[in-house]
Amino acid sequence: MSLITKQVKELQEEANLCIIDGNRIMADMLRKAADEIEELSAKLQAAQMERSSAHYHNGWIPVDERLPEKTGFYLATIDGELVGSEMPFVGLAEFWDGKWFDDEDDYKAILAWMPLPEPLKIER
């Protein structure tokens, strides 16, 4: 049982005791708190799952999962065998008009991509 689940159960038990003691207002407040904790816990769990899936490939997004939404330059994992190298490597690729810039003739060298990081901001 998780700490959150245990806390919710304790609040619900306290609410039941308040009803026995005739304090319905306190019971309602405790139940509302328990419900809010459960709701926030579910949202947190969903956010953590979303975050972990985004980092599943160390931030790389396989092209068979999705392509970039915007035109621009991206870091790309490039299939080395398709471009004369023995191993995959990282390079800069341009995504333009819904396809990778060198996407003629069914070009499939881009295996995965990720947005470029923000440049370092140096105060002068």
What is the average pLDDT score of the chain? Answer: 83
In terms of pLDDT, which residue wins out, 50 or 123?
A: 123
Cα 92 to Cα 75: distance, rounded to the nearest angstrom: 5
**Using an 8 Å Cβ cutoff, are 37 and 4 in contact?**
yes
pLDDT tens-digit series, residues 76-111: 998 877 667 778 899 899 998 888 886 554 457 899
Cα 122 to Cα 61: distance, rounded to the nearest angstrom: 29
pTM of the model: 0.51
56-95 core/surface letters (b: 16 or more CB in 10 A; e: else) = eeeebbebeeeebeeeeebbbbbbeeeeeeeebeeeebeb
Q: What was the pLDDT predicted at 68?
A: 92
Q: Quote the radius of gyration of the chain (alpha carbons, Å).
A: 26
